[in-house]
Chains A and B, each alone.
Chain A
Amino acid sequence: MGFFPALLAAYTIFAFLFQTIAVGFIAQDSRCLRHRLIWALFTLITGPVGILIYMFKGRKHV
């Protein structure tokens, strides 16, 4: 596999991994305040933006 296909394949795999971890984290997070499903969906659609907003606005901070 050459340079470009390797990069593209790595990116695609990374994209799936990132989204899985991000949505999985929200799904399991015990500090989630409320609207867990909405936060998960929001992150699925917006990716890094969604998880970042969730970290600040969607979690209990003790």
Chain B
Amino acid sequence: MKKSLNLFTFILVVFVVSVSLTLSATGFAGPFDEDSTITIPKATEQEEPAAAKPEESSEAVVADDEIVSEPEDEPENELTPVLPTDEEDNVSDEPVASAPEEKDSNSKILPGYEDEKISIDGDNYCGQFAMTSVFRGLGIDMDAQDIYKASNPRGIFTSPPIIVDHLNKNGVKAQQRHNCSIEDIAKKIDDGKPVIVLVDSGDGTPHWVNIYGYTRDDSGKITSVRMRDSYWGTRSGHEMDIDEFTQAWQKPLGDTFLGKMLGYKNLMIDINGSSSGTPFATATEDNMASGVNEVVTGWNSRDWGQFAGGASKLILGLPGTVISMSSRIPSVLGNSMTGWGKDRMNQGGIGNTILGGAAVAGGSVLQAGGWLVNQVGNASSSVAKTIGNGIKSLFGR
């Protein structure tokens, strides 16, 4: 008995060391690196987004004297800073979103979002920008800076539960959903509601955008989506090709190591969803991210209820984190094995078929085992999350 426990301890130690080395390795591209966060560029360092297309309806926000004037032939949807203007304070006369309007026969664009004037200064406000866009589109007068101060004053990554929580607390019922489809987005827009989604803005940097429109081709296939966000659509709506969007939405953390480890995929904040709450499938990620968010935000704003809730989530979430993260390694390995096995099988021949079949079978077993262990980790994290939220509520949060 003691021998097996020693072996178990040894395996754990080896695992810890390997995880530590991986995470601290030079060149490791963390998804929340500040170096790669969404930064609103200064006027002098503007870059044209790869997929930006000039839009006839684009309209520049009136900027202050720091803005370099644009050449007339410049694409109107080019990335430019959005800076505070006097007339933008407490904007409340913007159109309220309702039923979608059809820009042309194949486009559905929710009214009220295209030319919202959202003023933010600084960097890393994508979650707050997307929330502001939704609030204003729904007729709720909110300022991005106030949302920022309330939900993420240190400018770190805004976790999905923080967005859901902030929307719920300010009168917009929201639900976090995973593994959604493009048609799920279209259905919400058909119902007159925008959605906030998490996409990869490049190099594995997660980025929140507000989707409020889409276009179909003659065969009914969705060809593009329309969005407001703090990177591409700062001044007016940005049209993104569906292939580019699908890729960015499927892997919001790109192909980085942590992107493969974490389970965020096709994540959607469903506005006016059927119920509020966070899903079980990513309970560990949500618990970790919101715990860190709440500890940092609570400390920064001296809100001890929020701090205690976040700390409880992190401390009680220790086992769930260890179990879930451990389960991702066999899952990733299994996925690679299955892909390799399928390639071998496609090459034909008896040898390849046997080898490929064995790899597919072994990979599937690894994936199934990883999934099962992950559920245990998620269950443990869910308990930690519930207790953390309960502690927050004791402080009236």
Contact = CB atoms under 8 A, between A and B. Distances in A.
Q: Are A and B physically bound partners?
A: yes
Contact of B37 (A2, A13, A20): A2
Interface in B1-35: 1-2, 5-6, 8-9, 12-13, 15-16, 19-20, 23-24, 28, 30-35
Interface residues on A, range: 20 to 34
B321 A7 contact: no
Contacts of A11: 288, 291-292, 314, 321
A51 to B, nearest CB: 10
B20 A13 contact: yes
A1 B28 CA distance: 8
> Considering residues B12, B34, B154, B291, which has the most beta carbons from chain A within 10 angstroms of its beta carbon?
B12
Interface in B226-271: 258
B34 A12 contact: no
A45 interface: yes
A35 B322 CA distance: 23
A25 to B, nearest CB: 9
A13 B258 CA distance: 13
A53 B28 CA distance: 38
A27 B9 contact: yes
Contacts of B296: 7
B9 A5 contact: no
A17 B315 CA distance: 13
Nearest to B13: A20
B16 A17 contact: yes
Q: Looking at B20, B37, B325, which has the most chain A CB atoms within 10 Å of its CB?
A: B20
A8 B257 CA distance: 14
Interface string A29-56: 0000000110010001111111000000
Contacts of A46: 319, 380
A12 B1 contact: no
A3 B315 CA distance: 19
B318 interface: yes
Contacts of B12: 16, 19-20, 23-24
A50 B318 CA distance: 11
A23 to B, nearest CB: 7
A11 B20 CA distance: 11
Nearest to B376: A45
A15 B18 CA distance: 14
B292 A9 contact: no
A47 B23 CA distance: 22
A19 B35 contact: no
Q: Which of A8, A9, A44: most chain B CB closer than 10 A?
A: A8
Contacts of A48: 315-316, 318
B289 interface: yes
A3 B322 contact: no
Contact of B289 (A2, A8, A15, A20): A8
Interface of A: 1-5, 7-9, 11-13, 15-20, 23-24, 27-28, 36-37, 40, 44-50
8 contacts: A1-B33, A5-B258, A9-B30, A13-B23, A16-B12, A23-B12, A28-B5, A44-B319
In the A-B complex, the 6 residue pairs with the smallest Cβ-Cβ separation, listed nearest first, are A2-B34, A5-B30, A4-B156, A27-B5, A47-B318, A47-B319
